[in-house]
Chain A
Amino acid sequence: MKIFVSQHDDIRIGGLVQALKSVVPTTFYWSKKDKPLFDLIEEEEPTIIFYHDGDAADSTIEYAQAEYPGIKFVYMQFLPTLSKAKPSLTLAMDPSLVIDGSLPIDYRTNLIEMEGGVKQGMFTTEVLILTDQVDARIDFHLLTLRALGYQFQTKMYGNNKVNLPNYLGRLRKESYRHALASARVLVAFDSSRYYDACYHNCIPLVFKEKKTTELGAYEFSSLSGLLEKCKVAIEAVNPELSHHASEYTYHHYLIDIFRLLQEETIVDALIQYLEQRKVVAS
């Protein structure tokens, strides 16, 4: 079985692919710029192809579906579309695009990236900021980071540079787990690392966007509110969040996806993977 996933920098697609690779090693990224769709199908004979809006812009997908009915196509939809293609399954990457039969995909625990994270002295801190979601052009972001750096022990890592001494550079992918395992609180401007933080019992405080409603106590909407919540969270004794995070992983999403695709062998392999790690499958 060969599964190809069209390349995209969305963190959820990365999580799904990493999780899928753990049970189906013949899962590959694919880019239509490097290999056109029909060449891919002829040369590699894929079983399932995950594609996104960029691939659905022309009618190649439509023709491929008609030509190769044995291949299952999964559409990762970020934008409203006019495409006539009829995928085997649609994954709604934006909550506003959920329609009947499509599966909404939100941020979840990335078990592959998070497993093995341990507390390390160099990463130990009260407040952790991962700057990948920080926008230096937004005043509120900078003001928040400055205030946190002033009031608490704060370390910032990530691909976006912040002009504060607390910013300590980019992190290797495998170091994120240790950083989260060593921090008391994660302050974030989106929920992409919410479950990853919970997995390591690091209390996440996420900026309240209109669409996020389920996070409740772990949200902030003002700076004063954040500073207060931070103080309480830092003093919290043994927050038990990891069990909650273990029930919401990209592996669980894959179980739902492959059940809908009627690929029971992969579903069994995913359940077995989770059971081996004592994570409850949905």
Chain B
Amino acid sequence: MIGIIVDEIVNSPQNYFLFKTLNELSKSHDCYLFTSGIKELPIENKFSIMQQLEALHHPGILISTTMLNAQIAANSLTATKKYYYIWNFEWTMLNQFAFHQLDKIFYNDDVELIANSSTHNHLLTQLFKSPIGIVYNWDRKSLEKVIL
């Protein structure tokens, strides 16, 4: 079972790649997308879309996609494996933040990091810990290689 947590679903390039990969993965796996709301679907979904809170008792692989929902993944008691797929460096967009807010997410032993590119991979290794793998724009093959 593969669960992915996102914030709001909008028609963005990131969500387009995500939906495309989930549609392909759902042919062989149970796939769930946990969200806090839907504005616009990028393409038709062939997997379940559920409330974000449901992620807390998802009994399978759980992939978070933002700093906010990475905390949901971190607090899940039922997930078999937890990942944080870092699409961009969110902390650079915050105005005021303290280091202890980052360390709970990026140094969490239960949550493995997934980088979006080799450049990200290099920087994340220097700043936090080595990502478990690189998945470029939700590429299905590399995602399967990393999480399965």
Contacts and interface: CB of A to CB of B under 8 A. Distances in A.
Contacts, number: 43
B28 interface: no
A168 B89 contact: no
A167 interface: yes
Interface string A165-182: 111111110010000000
B24 to A, nearest CB: 31
Interface of B is mostly: helix
Given A163-B92, A164-B92, A165-B92, A171 B99 contact: yes
A129 to B, nearest CB: 13
Nearest to B97: A169
Interface residues of A, number: 19
Interface in B84-121: 89, 91-92, 94-103, 107
A146 interface: no
Of the listed residues B91, B96, B99, B128, the one surrounded by the most CB atoms of chain A closer than 10 A to its CB is: B99
Contacts of B100: 169, 172
B8 to A, nearest CB: 24
Contacts of A164: 92
Given A153-B126, A165-B127, A167-B92, 14 more contacts: A155-B127, A157-B99, A164-B92, A165-B89, A165-B123, A167-B91, A169-B97, A169-B98, A170-B96, A170-B97, A170-B98, A170-B99, A171-B99, A172-B98
